[in-house]
Amino acid sequence: MNKRKLEEAFFKALMLLSTSIVLGSLSAVFAVVILKGAPALSLSMLTQTPKGGYYLGKEGGILNAIIGSLYLAIGATALAFLLSLPIALYLNEYAGKSRFASLTRLSLDVLWGIPSIVYGAFAFIIMLYVGARASLLWGIITVTLFVFPIMTRAIDEVMKMSPFKLREASYALGSTRLETALKVLTRQTLPGMLTAILLAFGRGIGDAASVLLTAGYTDSIPRSLFDPVATLPLAVFFQLGTPIPEVQQRAYASGVVLLALVLLLSIASRISTRKFMKYVIK
Amino acid sequence: MSRRLKDNVASKLMLLATIFSSLILFIMAFALFQRSRPILATQPLSELFVTSSWHPTNGEFGFYPFIIGTLSVTGLAMILAIPICLFSAIYLAEYAPSKVRGTIKPLIDLLAGIPSVVYGLWGVLLVVPLIRYYVAPFAGAAATGYSVLAGGTVLAIMVFPIIISVSEELFRTVPFEVREASFALGATKWETVKHVVVRKALPGFLAATILGFSRAFGETMAVLMVIGNVAKVPSSVFDPAYSLPALIANSYGEMMSIPLYDSALLLAALILLLVIAFFSVLARIVLLRVERRSV
Amino acid sequence: MGIFNPHISIQRLNVFYGERHVLKDITVDIPEKKITAIIGPSGCGKTTLLKSLNRLIDLVDVAKVSGNVLVDGVNILDDEVDVTDVRKKMGLIAQMPNPLPMSIYDNVAYGPRIHGVKDGKELGQIVEHCLQAAGLWSEVKERLGEPASKLSVGQQQRLCLARALAVQPECLLCDEPTSALDPISAQHIETQLLTLKKDYTIVFVTHVLRQARRLADYVIFLYLGELIEHGPAETVFTQPDNPRTKAYIEGVFG
């Protein structure tokens, strides 16, 4: 029996070690990025766009990237939502357990796994075909494509949890499917949808590969959809690539901004999920 | 508009959106394929795959180093990640008290939300110097730190969340009765976990691994920032390499100015799409089967 | 208590599920190498009593157990005792057959392997012997490598019996072992139990009085967690002491 107890103790140690490695990695990422980036963070960093000579170490900040990312992520999230909600509603209210529904869910899951660079490449092809140039609009379109499978499946999962009895009650009162979908299902899953939206927003704002080929980069804040736009992930990437230490520092600072955003979104979605759990009728 | 008409129109629109979502994958593959045809016309795919020389200006497009680069960095990431994820998932599902599990799971989700450029940044700030000044000298090699090892390490951490969360849920679906049977025979908790729980959940765990593999295979920015981007087949983990996604990301600027370059890069994107789609479908179908069997 | 050898001696056993007092001060002896039936209406703590005998109750978080359960003179509820040893001694057959996700052979070999039997030949002998004792050998001997899930429910239950026998227990605890089975499979199990009582102390829970009448040498009647009456089967069934026992046996509340 001692041998068996020893074996159990050994593997338990292995388990604790593995979990520590996972948590340790998380801490390491946050610690290193924040430690290196916080010193370079300053008010001017966050409130100014790059001025002349910025990339040589002179004045300016990453406001262009912050605003740019926000425009892009908000636009893409909104557009993706317009696409995701009908699909999720259709899957839950109209298609039910059919093969079509399973196949659609499978394709969405597969789309979820496709890397953003492929979406970027695809959008790039379309842009060439229509003769478009890199701009906010195309960045939004690309990120929308990238993000809508995640959002759709997340909303779908939330709706799946809604008990059928609720919808049954609505039908019993003579509602059409659309009315049930909009008035009952949507309302009940609102907090859960918020979580899905936040999830998608987080993905959209942090992704670089999709916007690399399609959104361009610029020092100014875009004034129209057809202007190129700077994004935070690319700000990190490009600034890191320079040999000038001051500019590299700014890359670290941009990284911290991104991390802070992600952390905020994560907390917001936790709160939203908890609220959701409170109102779910089981 | 009458209610019935509204309902009808709305359902047609929703159906359209849904059909679009199932088709978009094929549309993307088709578009990429169309743009890859020029280069496929010059050389057969098999030749492109085994040629090692990548000199676009000379019209040489040998994908071999990139394929090996991607495979080695992804393979290394999986070798590192699989045992860590397995044991973490077992711990969370079977041994951790619920409060501990409740604290750790959100943290793992947080790991999933970190953007890849931040991972790349972290890799440059910590992993690369670590390899350069400590790990490589310890192993008797001289290295810049930008290496397969750096890429593999960063990638491993990036896939932790997906493998752990899918596996943990899977372990928890193994029914209580089966565990009870094992305990009733006098097995310890670990023996029950080893012989019954993990065994029953094994196909699902493999599927989770495949999902992680797909994720790592397509990861662009983080790998790009730490792997060195040298188009040669790496001979050790300390050597730099070049992955397919990194190639596409790095080269898009010049892609239109050199003939066939764009075609080659879009072929690379197509390869990524097909490989990842294949493995994703495989993994998802296995997971669906597992789900169905346990109901 | 009587003229038999107590194998299991339950002394002042109390079990709480959180606030609920599920087993109230149970004191009773269980005779060796006889079949003891625990009868009573559903939800009266019969299964809880059974699970206290092999400490499977430990797996229930909210359960609090006090008292003594002496097996061969040793209190199995003691913290110092090795719980896996206890469970080895007290085989359990659950109400719903629960084959392990393995082949028929591996199911039976699982227990012995865990407890240290490594030799392939020895394992093979144990598997054959136990499957025969469970009355399943002839039906499965050609397909031992097949997954146990392919067997019918009745066969699975006999497999669980074989599996329990494989670790050489002293007692067999059966929780309504035939309630999920068709009449023919149920009969199979009953026949095996009657044969096995030569070598094992058998305790089984049932809510089917006829089954208890058929099989039991000794009867324990539980009602709402309390021990109402116990004694040799003949006595309890024909001349019960307690009016509540009488009422139950006559079918007033069953």
Q: Please give the residue of chain B at the shortest CA–CA distance from C108.
A: B185
CA C111 to chain A, closest CA, distance in angstroms equals 14
Confidence of residue C87 (pLDDT cuts 50, 70, 90): very high
CA C94 to chain B, closest CA, distance in angstroms equals 8
CA C1 to chain B, closest CA, distance in angstroms equals 29
Scan residues 55-94 of B and list those with Cβ closer than 8 Å to A.
83-88, 90-92
pLDDT > 70: percent of chain C: 97
Q: Would you say residue B32 lies in a domain?
A: no
Given an 8 Å threshold on Cβ–Cβ distance, is B180 in contact with C85? no
Our separate counts of H helices and E strands in chain A read 12, 0
Give dist(CA C171, CA C173) in Å, integer.
6
Terminal Cα distance for chain B, rounded: 44
Give dist(CA B241, CA B104) in Å, integer.
34
Question: What would be the CATH architecture of the domain defined by C6-97+169-249?
Answer: 3-Layer(aba) Sandwich (3.40)
In this structure, chain A runs to a length of 282
Give dist(CA C7, CA C172) in Å, integer.
12
Chain B residues closer than 8 Å to C96 by CB: 177
Q: For residue A185, give every residue at least 6 positions away whose Cβ sits within 8 Å of its Cβ, in sequence order, or none.
A: A89, A92, A93, A159, A162, A166, A167
Q: For residue B197, give every residue at least 6 positions away whose Cβ sits within 8 Å of its Cβ, in sequence order, or none.
A: B90, B93, B94, B171, B174, B179
Q: Which chains touch A (3 or more CB pairs under 8 A)?
A: B, C
H-helix segments, A131-244: 136-160, 164-172, 177-179, 186-206, 209-212, 232-240
Check: CB of residue A208 under 8 Å from CB of residue B116: yes
B170–chain A Cβ distance below 8 A for any pair:
no
Work out the angle at residue A214's Cα, subtended by the Cα atoms of residues A211 and A219, and round it to the nearest 5 degrees: 75
Given an 8 Å threshold on Cβ–Cβ distance, is C92 in contact with B188? no
Q: Would you say residue B16 lies in a domain?
A: no
Report pLDDT for A44. 78
CA B254 to chain A, closest CA, distance in angstroms equals 11
pLDDT tens-digit map of C9-18: 999 999 999 8
Instruction: Estimate to the nearest angstrom the gap between the alpha carbon of A180 and the chain centroid.
Output: 29
Given an 8 Å threshold on Cβ–Cβ distance, is C82 in contact with A4? no
Given an 8 Å threshold on Cβ–Cβ distance, is B181 in contact with C87? no
Q: Would you say residue B120 lies in a domain?
A: yes
Chain C residues closer than 8 Å to B178 by CB: 98, 100-101
Chain A residues closer than 8 Å to C84 by CB: 1, 4
Q: Please give the residue of chain A at the shortest CA–CA distance from C83.
A: A1
Q: Are strands B54-55 and B60-61 parallel, antiparallel or unpaired?
A: antiparallel
Give dist(CA C71, CA C158) in Å, integer.
26
**Which among A49, A46, A51, A68 has a CA at the least distance from the CA of A228?**
A68
Give dist(CA B159, CA B216) in Å, integer.
7
Q: Please give the residue of chain C at the shortest CA–CA distance from B197.
A: C101
Q: For residue A140, give every residue at least 6 positions away whose Cβ sits within 8 Å of its Cβ, in sequence order, or none.
A: A72, A75, A76, A79, A225
The backbone torsions φ and ψ at residue A140, rounded to the nearest 5 degrees and listed phi first, read: -60, -45
pLDDT along chain B (295 residues), means of 10: 77 86 92 90 84 84 91 96 96 92 92 93 94 87 89 96 93 90 92 90 92 93 93 91 93 84 91 94 89 63
pLDDT > 90: percent of chain C: 40
Q: Does residue A216 come out as left (phi exceeding 0), alpha (psi in the -120 to 50 range) or beta? A: left
Beta partners for residue C63, in sequence order: C17
- The residue whose two tokens read 């006098």 is B186
Give dist(CA B226, CA B244) in Å, integer.
14
What Rg do the C-alpha atoms of chain C give, in angstroms? 18
**Which among B228, B213, B216 has a CA at the least distance from the CA of B127?**
B228
Q: Would you say residue B1 lies in a domain?
A: no
Q: Domain range holding B171?
A: 45-294
Q: Would you say residue B148 lies in a domain?
A: yes
Element (H, E) at B55: strand B54-55
Residue ranges of chain B whose CB lies within 8 Å of a chain C CB: 177-178, 180-188, 191, 195-196, 199-200
Give dist(CA A249, CA B226) in Å, integer.
18
In DSSP notation, B164-221 reads: HHHHHHHHHTS-HHHHHHHHHTT--HHHHIIIIIHHHHHHHHHHHHHHHHHHHHH--H
Evaluate if residue C253 carries a pLDDT over 70. Answer: no
Structure-token pair, residue B293: 């069997």
Give the CA distances from residue C144 to residues B197, C105, C192, in Å, rounded to whole numbers and listed in that order: 22, 5, 20
CA B135 to chain C, closest CA, distance in angstroms equals 41
In single-letter form, the type of residue at position C4 comes to: F
Q: What is the pLDDT along chain A (282 residues), one digit of tens a residue?
A: 688 889 999 999 999 999 999 999 999 999 999 999 888 888 877 887 777 766 666 677 788 889 999 999 999 999 999 999 989 888 887 777 788 888 899 999 999 999 999 999 999 999 989 988 889 999 999 999 999 999 999 999 888 887 777 777 777 777 777 777 777 777 778 888 888 899 899 999 999 999 998 998 888 888 888 999 999 999 999 988 888 888 888 889 899 999 999 899 988 888 887 776 666 555
pLDDT tens-digit map of C180-208: 888 888 888 899 899 898 899 999 999 88
Looking up residue B249, the CATH number of its domain turns out to be: 1.10.3720.10
In single-letter form, the type of residue at position A155 comes to: I
Query: How many CA atoms, within 13 angstroms, populate the side-chain half-sphere of residue B69?
Result: 33
Structural domain count of chain B: 1
Structure-token pair, residue A12: 């338990």
CA B167, B170, B174, B176 torsion-angle sign: positive
Widest distance between CA atoms in chain B: 79
C80–chain A Cβ distance below 8 A for any pair:
no
CA C102 to chain B, closest CA, distance in angstroms equals 9
Give dist(CA B176, CA A236) in Å, integer.
49
In single-letter form, the type of residue at position A202 comes to: G
Check: CB of residue C39 under 8 Å from CB of residue C50: no
Report pLDDT for B295. 46
Q: Would you say residue B27 lies in a domain?
A: no
Give dist(CA C171, CA C87) in Å, integer.
10
Torsion, CA A116, CA A118, CA A119, CA A125, rounded to 10: 150
When CB atoms are compared, the residue of C86, C100, C167 closest to B181 is C100
Given an 8 Å threshold on Cβ–Cβ distance, is B196 in contact with C56? no
Interface test with A, best of B20, B90, B100, B114 (most A CBs within 10 A): B114
- Strand residues in chain C grouped as ranges (E): 6-17, 20-31, 35-39, 63-71, 74-75, 90-93, 171-175, 201-205, 218-223, 226-232
DSSP C116: T
Say how many C-beta atoms besides its own lie within 10 A of residue B102's C-beta.
Answer: 10
When CB atoms are compared, the residue of B14, B91, B109 closest to A94 is B14
Report pLDDT for B293. 67
DSSP C16: E
Work out the angle at residue C83's Cα, subtended by the Cα atoms of residues C81 and C84, and round it to the nearest 5 degrees: 130
Q: Please give the residue of chain C at the shortest CA–CA distance from B98.
A: C61
What Rg do the C-alpha atoms of chain A give, in angstroms? 23
Could you tell me the domains of chain A? 62-279 (1.10.3720.10)
Q: Would you say residue B23 lies in a domain?
A: no
**Which among C156, A12, C120 has a CA at the least distance from the CA of B188?**
A12
Check: CB of residue A123 under 8 Å from CB of residue A142: yes
